[in-house]
Chain A
């Protein structure tokens, strides 16, 4: 065991050292700024970016900051100061707004900057080349569609409901809630929006176990922003005598963690949001820009095809969004679900 740990240490140290040495046949180095890989989603993001970079023939260097914007700022300074010629930057700021200064500094270096994961702030368009990543409005919208679909199929009452959202201040939570609310406007009635303290089962259960009994008989649906929280809400509903999928519809909207609630039908359905493909497409966007040399104004929702990933020859838009393909709530549907050649199990269980 000890040996394994030290081998891992040595290997990562070595990998770090090697990353600085540019290979002669390389197309250059891409520097990726991300918060810490201690978050598994970010770990998947790194993996996707690395694999795509290897495919395209780039070296890649990932700089992590452990969720600390001022550290990320000084890493940017350090990187810029190194005078290294890079093929481009991928920018995932820890705090989107607070990182604008660093984003601007990166853009002034002249190298292309692809922003990912954090939807860029209005007014900063001059500081980045293109956005390639998730669209949380889209995620909310997909969740709304899954829910509306479930409501339509069932003969139960489906009107009032609540949103259990990500902690206050998490911009993904704001965007998903907005996307969801826009999509259900006039069809469903949002009576409450309650923030959790985190993203996992425990925190979700605490909130659900409070609002379900408090509004029993009133709530007909719950939107929880991810499946971990949805699973916890389903458990809280059962404990309060409600059968999920019959008395109350619960939707998470993004697959996250344990999929048993989806497979059992307790959750109305889910959608794949893949960290792997997000990193992959950010790298692809950079590759496209280097080859094509131009950015088309406007938005592009990449197609969520089950088998083939999108072609590198497609044009690069200013905004390129990761698809959130919906997955129906049965074992068979879950097993069959695929995005760009990877199964839901591969993409969701990390």
Chain B
């Protein structure tokens, strides 16, 4: 068993523990519609966390995802008259293109992606306000039933939550089993080392940011279709949840470590916790408090395990 598998199993254990603790108090946690709603509640942050996680693995971080999702939301509702599928495709492609451009700039200018994406975070929000004319855009009420299929449940899955799970599997496969994916890991694990070994830096950065933006666009469009509306000021809080999911899911801030499956585990750990606390009717700050405590717990546990592993490795090296 590799150390990554072990770490993911430990995180899975934590997730199940959180689930069980709350399920003991909230009956809907083990009912079919309840689980379906939990899955649905994870879609937005989940799809976005996949992309953010990928940029974090590359040793970067895409902070612009919230604004990108809001932009995509407005755009998709405005394109609604042309049909939902064409609107979705256009929006995702366009966002992916914007992301690729963003990645290219970060590579070319050789600046920190945190700095650059703070710029796009603000600029895209501005662009969204312009495009939307500062107003929440709505699908006409007579057409709102057309989007109902997005809320329909098949067993516990809806189309959006199934999309999330399929995307996790796809991107996990991509990151694990393809040249482009491994390059993302390589430049995150050691930028200079990878470059010296002949790995292109440009391609993985562009790919990571393009995927991140496309997924943010997809999440924004899907969610806006489901609610039938999009606000230019929406999706502001999603970045924090996505990054928290990545961190709890074992993606290292320094890059090169973690897995997309881990992100999914981290995501559901938070969702179980946050939805549960809200469902118990506790005030909002309990959600913040619990999420923060969970993250700190995970970080401390990681540090402790890392310390023990290093000590063991040193002991092994000395006795070898």
Say if the two chains contact directly (CB < 8 Å): yes
- Establish whether residues B234 and A81, one from each chain, have CB atoms under 8 Å apart when the complex forms: no
Nearest chain B residue, comparing its CB with the CB of A72: B278
In the bound complex, residues from chain A placing their C-beta under 8 Å from that of B37 are 74, 77-78, 80-82
Interface residue? B292 (CB, 8 A) = no
Asked whether, in the complex, the Cβ of A12 is within 8 Å of the Cβ of B31, the reply is no
Given contact pairs A63-B281, A70-B234, A78-B41, A101 touches B25 in the complex (Cβ within 8 A): no
Smallest CB-CB separation from A82: which chain B residue? B28
Inter-subunit contact A82/B34 (CB<8 Å): yes
Residues B28 and A83 in contact, CB atoms below 8 Å apart:
yes
User: Is A193 located at the chain interface by the 8 A CB criterion?
Assistant: no
| A65 CB to nearest B CB, Å | 7
- B276-298 near A? 1/0 per residue, CB < 8 Å: 01111111111110000000000
Looking at chain B, what size class is its interface with the partner chain? 35 or more
- Stretch from B188-196, B201-209, B224-232 that touches the partner: B224-232
Q: How far is the CA of A62 from the CA of B284 in the complex (A)?
A: 10
User: Is A331's beta carbon under 8 Å from chain B?
Assistant: no
Residue pair A20, B227 in contact (C-beta under 8 Å):
no
- B138 contacts A by Cβ under 8 Å: yes
Contact with B along A143-166 (1 / 0, CB 8 A): 000000000000000000000000
Chain A positions within 8 Å of B227 at CB level: 73, 98-102
Chain A residues whose CB sits within 8 angstroms of the CB of B200 once the complex forms:
none
Answer yes or no: B112 CB below 8 A from chain A CBs.
no
A-B Cβ contacts below 8 A, count:
141
Which residues of chain B (121-159) have a CB below 8 Å from chain A?
Answer: 134-136, 138, 141, 144, 147, 151
Whole-angstrom distance between the Cβ of A20 and the nearest chain B Cβ: 6
Q: Which residue of B lies closest to A66 (CB)?
A: B284
How many angstroms between the C-alpha atoms of A99 and B233 in the bound complex? 13
Contact status of A74 and B41, CB under 8 A, knowing A82-B31, A83-B33, A101-B144: yes
The contact of B279 among A13, A82, A95, A101, by CB within 8 Å, is: A82
Report if A217 contacts B (CB, 8 A).
no
- For the complex, give the distance between the alpha carbons of A64 and B27 in Å: 20
* Shortest distance between the CB of B281 and any CB in chain A (Å): 4
Does B247 touch A at the CB level, under 8 Å? Answer: no
Which residues of chain A come closer than 8 Å to B31, judged between CB atoms? 81-83
Q: Contact: A169 with B281, CB < 8 Å? A: no
Asked whether B36 is an interface residue with its Cβ less than 8 Å from the other chain, the reply is yes
Check if B95 is an interface residue, CB within 8 A of chain A: no
Contact residue among B151, B235, B287 (Cβ-Cβ distance under 8 Å from A70): B235
Q: Does A61 contact B (CB under 8 A)?
A: yes
A residues 88-113 near B (Cβ < 8 Å) are 95-102, 104-105
* A20:B280 contact, CB within 8 angstroms: yes
Question: Is B238's CB within 8 Å of the partner chain A?
Answer: yes
Asked if A210 is at the interface of the complex by the 8 Å CB criterion, the answer is no
**Once the chains are docked, how many angstroms separate the CA of A296 from the CA of B50?**
50
B284 touches A37 (CB 8 A): yes
Q: Are A70 and B238 in contact, with the CB atoms below 8 A?
A: yes
Residue B1 CB within 8 A of the other chain: no
**Chain B residues closer than 8 Å to A82, beta-carbon distance:** 26-28, 31, 33-34, 37, 279
Q: How far is the CB of B105 from chain A (nearest CB, A)?
A: 28
Whether A70 contacts B281 by the Cβ 8 Å rule is: no
A56 within 8 A of partner (CB): no
Flag whether B251 is at the interface (Cβ < 8 A): no
Is residue A343 contacting chain B, with contact meaning CB distance below 8 A?
no
A169 touches B134 (CB 8 A): yes
Contact of B231 among A69, A78, A81, A121 (CB under 8 A): A69
Assess the B34–A69 pair: CB atoms within 8 A: no
Contact status A16-B286, CB under 8 Å: yes
Report the separation of the CA atoms of residues A70 and B219 in the bound assembly, to the nearest whole angstrom: 11
A66-B284, A77-B40 known; A101-B26 Cβ under 8 A: no
Cβ-defined partner of B151 (8 Å) among A13, A38, A84, A105? A105
Interface residues of A (CB under 8 A from B): 12-13, 15-17, 19-20, 36-38, 61-66, 68-71, 73-75, 77-84, 95-102, 104-105, 121, 123-124, 168-169
3 tightest Cβ-Cβ pairs between the two chains A and B: A101-B227, A81-B37, A82-B28
A-B contact pairs, 8 of them (CB 8 A): A12-B286, A13-B286, A19-B281, A37-B283, A69-B234, A70-B44, A95-B231, A168-B134
